[in-house]
Structure 1
Amino acid sequence: MRLRSLLFVPGDRPERFDKALASGADAVILDLEDSVAPANKPRARENVHEYVQRRAGETNLLIRINPLSSPEFEDDLAALNGLHPFAIMLPKAEGAASVWKLAGSLASEIPILPIATETPSAIFEIGSYREVSTSLCGLTWGAEDLPAAMGAATARRTDGRYTPPYELARSLTLFGAHAAAVPAIETVYPDFHDLSGLRAYVGRARRDGFSGMMAIHPSQVETINHAFTPDASEIAWAEKVAAAFAAKPHAGVIQLDGRMLDMPHLKLALRILEISGR
Structure 2
Amino acid sequence: MTRIAVLQMTSGIDPGANAAALSEAIGRAAEGGAAMLFTPEMSGLLDRDRARAAPHIVDEASDPVLAAVREAASRAGIWVALGSIAVRGDSGKLANRSLVIDGSGAVAARYDKIHMFDVSLDSGESWQESSAYQPGDAVVTVDTPVGRLGLTVCYDIRFPALFEALGRAGCDIIAIPAAFTRPTGQAHWHLLQRARAIEASAYVVAAAQCGRHEDGRETYGHSLVIDPWGEPLIDMGGDRPGLAFAEIEPERIASVRRQLPSLANRRDIGKGARP
TM-score bin, normalised by smaller chain: 0.3 to 0.5
More strand by share: 2
* TM-score using structure 2 length: 0.44
Higher RCO structure, 1 or 2 (CA under 8 Å, sep 6+): 2
Find the structure with the greater CA-based Rg. Answer: 1
More helix by share: 1
